[in-house]
Amino acid sequence: MTIEVLFLNAEGVYEPKGMAWLAATFGACLKITPAGSGPRFALVKIVVTKAEASFNAHVLTPEYGPKGGQPIAFAWKGLAQGDANATRIRQNGVPMGGLKTAINDWVIVHQTDDNGQTGYGVSEAGWYYTPPDMGPGYLYPLSPSLPSDTIEGLGMIPGTVHYAPTHVYWQEVAGTVDPPVPPADGNTVRGLLTAAQLQIDDANRTLAKVLALLG
């Protein structure tokens, strides 16, 4: 499945990019591991932003709607028992609880909301990395029925204000054939939903800034 890459510029416009740009920008520090070609949670889109100190997961249904209540794993290097409400999902390299995908022993588990989204705020300390080292973050859906593509190496480029791939989108693929990739002009159901979700993301960011100013 083709992965869509967007960059949110300083004017608030989403610029279409591509995997080559993502690789050139973040180097080998970002690693995406596919779960295969059958039914799964397929990574379909990555949005790169600046000045946003969080990493966010979005999950779509096979019909391109938001998938609420989906457990998401977030982890970082060194996360262990007793840290930040960590949950163990793997032991001796074996996923626990029948999970199809578990690449970490300990993770922080959130569930997506009705918009199919959940986020994890991070502090600056430890989240800047210097290539060719990998960033510390891991992010992926958890499921006992479907494996998931995973992304690791999430972090922020040194010398920038939180320049990072902060929004990652997965879609539940129900069959053995991936759904068609929509054209770049967005004149499809998926394109319209994507645009709507990005507007929701913008509104949420604005609200968070206003609330922070109000104290």
pLDDT tens digit sequence for 150-187: 999 998 887 778 889 999 999 999 876 665 554 443 33
- Domain-by-domain residue ranges, the chain? 4-182
Q: Please, is 95 exposed, middle or buried when counting C-beta atoms within 10 Å of its C-beta (0-12, 13-18, 19+)?
A: middle
- Phi and psi at residue 145, to the nearest 5°: -115, -30
Mean pLDDT of the 185-211 span:
49
Confidence class of residue 85 from pLDDT cuts 50, 70 and 90?
confident
Between 198 and 87, the more confident residue is 87
pLDDT for the residue numbered 29: 73
Mean pLDDT of the 192-198 span:
48
Alpha helices in the chain (DSSP H): 19-26, 189-214
Assess whether pLDDT exceeds 70 at residue 25.
Answer: yes
**With contact defined as beta carbons under 8 Å apart, do 81 and 75 qualify?**
no
pLDDT for the residue numbered 100: 97
Confidence class of residue 17 from pLDDT cuts 50, 70 and 90?
very high
Least confident of 10-14, 168-172, 201-205: 201-205
Measuring CA to CA, how many Å separate 81 from each of 58, 64, 105, 107, 108? Answer: 26, 36, 9, 9, 11
Q: Which SS3 state, helix, strand or coil, does residue 44 take?
A: strand
pLDDT for the residue numbered 157: 82
